[in-house]
Amino acid sequence: MSSDNITVHHGEEINNSTGVSNKKLLMWAFLGSDVMFFGTFIGTFMAYRNKSLNGPYPADTLDIPITTVSTFVLLMSSLGIVLALHYLKESRMGLAKLWLFAVIIMGLIFMGFQVYEFAHFAHIGMTPQVNLFGTTFFTLTSLHGAHVSLGILWLIFLLYNEFNGNLTSDNAVDLEIAGLYWHFVDIVWILIFGLLYLITAGDGVPPGGIPWEGAH
């Protein structure tokens, strides 16, 4: 009876005002929020540039060739996920799964580089506690790493669902929002690579700083 009652299956499924998906809207708004999160960290990093009183300084530690490789891997993972989404939308499940798997592997490789880098820095005596450069460098990169790790977990969950038959072209939006998140993590790394690595890597001893004498 009362045929004009509108059947609503779930609050999460209604989109009636703008015609865009609620989930995508949520993800974009969240990314806007994350802009401010990383913005504050990058702002702090730049404001503390050349303010460390003792070593190691960026010129003593940062290794650009290695980071270039890991940057390249993360950039290509962005390509991977956009292809995975494309093939998922076209229901070419084999390619979709392959590319999603590739993205996860590339994410893991990137994390491997980061773990290696952190371990190397700790070995030569650069820790978050040692000076301002260490403090700002480690907080920014490790929180970026935390975002990447979360993304990897999320993508593994989605890949599992692709194999399970739950993630198909019908609900490709679930992969799409994960992809948006992944791309965002990628563009944050683009900024980190440009600002934190390339610009500061040449910074030696600032005025008033004590030159670094290597690991003790």
d(CA 56, CA 131): 8
CB of 108 to other proteins, least distance (A): 18
Single out the residue of 112, 194, 204, 211 in contact with other proteins (rule: CB under 8 A): 194
Single out the residue of 29, 115, 210, 215 in contact with other proteins (rule: CB under 8 A): 29
CB of 81 to other proteins, least distance (A): 8
* CB-CB contact of 58 with 109 (8 Å): no
CB of 14 to other proteins, least distance (A): 6
Closest CA to 148 of 96, 109, 202, 111: 111
> SS3 for 54?
strand
CB of 66 to other proteins, least distance (A): 11
* CB-CB contact of 104 with 156 (8 Å): yes
204 lies in the site for other proteins, by CB under 8 A: no
d(CA 186, CA 171): 24
* CB-CB contact of 113 with 70 (8 Å): yes
Single out the residue of 124, 166, 204, 215 in contact with other proteins (rule: CB under 8 A): 166
Q: Which stretch binds other proteins (CB under 8 A): 79-87, 104-112, 117-125?
A: 79-87
Segment 98 to 157, residues that bind other proteins, using CB under 8 A: 128-129, 131-132, 134-136, 138-139, 143, 153-154, 157
